């Protein structure tokens, strides 16, 4: 019985190696991952605009995850709306993607995050809009983080 197993072992191992080679050639190459951060600038007393740098210079990108955080030393406020504005691959103007809204600040901080699937045209910038209410007082700042592949 041992001799019959030894006889088929090379055939079995060659079959498994061939199957593994076939699978590895069928798998797509991994995409490069990018992370971008942007600070928001007040465009009105209750709205911040954050310009996100270009993600993919030569290739369209996919934004997979976004997060934002605002801090203020003033009175309590609420996140009314968090949007990402991006140009889709086959378009020429921004499309707004609603990420979150209606979150109260706690000890001067409000944050949110979400898994998204936003396709972005190559060599274009995206931006984020953050609406707060009432207008925060004191020192206030917001940052947006984006995780994408291209």
Enumerate domains of the chain plus CATH numbers: 33-149 (2.60.120)
Give the tens place of pLDDT for each residue, 12-69: 444 444 444 444 444 444 567 889 999 999 999 999 999 999 988 999 999 999 999 9
Name residue 109's beta-bridge partners. 71, 106
pTM for the predicted model, two decimal places: 0.77
For the chain, the C-alpha Rg in angstroms (whole number) is 24
- Tell me how far apart the alpha carbons of residues 131 and 145 are, in angstroms, rounded to a whole number: 17
Burial of 67 (0-12, 13-18, 19+ CB in 10 A): middle
pLDDT at 89: 95
Give the tens place of pLDDT for each residue, 80-131: 999 999 999 999 999 999 999 899 999 999 999 999 999 999 999 999 999 9
Decide: 30 and 118 in contact? Cβ < 8 Å: no
pLDDT at 7: 53
CA 85 to chain centre: 12
Instruction: Pick left, alpha or beta for residue 108 (phi over 0 → left; psi -120 to 50 → alpha; otherwise beta).
Output: left
User: Torsion angle of alpha carbons 132, 133, 139, 144, nearest 10°?
Assistant: -10
Helix ranges (H only) for the chain are 2-26
**128 to 42, 62, 96, 100: CA distances (angstroms):** 12, 16, 9, 12
């Amino acid at each position: 019985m041992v001799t019959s197993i030894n006889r088929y072992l090379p055939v079995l191992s060659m079959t498994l190696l061939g199957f593994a080679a076939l699978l590895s050639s069928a798998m797509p190459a991994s995409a490069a991952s990018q992370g971008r951060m942007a600070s928001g600038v007040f465009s009105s007393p209750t709205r911040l605009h954050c310009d996100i740098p270009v993600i993919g210079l030569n290739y369209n990108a996919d934004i997979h995850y976004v997060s934002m955080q605002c801090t203020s030393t003033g009175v309590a406020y609420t996140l009314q709306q968090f949007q990402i504005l991006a140009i889709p691959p086959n378009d020429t103007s921004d499309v707004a993607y609603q990420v979150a809204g209606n979150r109260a600040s706690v000890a001067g901080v409000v944050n949110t995050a979400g898994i998204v699937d936003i396709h972005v045209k190559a060599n274009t910038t995206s931006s984020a809009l953050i609406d707060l209410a009432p207008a925060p007082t004191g020192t206030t700042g917001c940052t947006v983080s984006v995780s994408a592949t291209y």
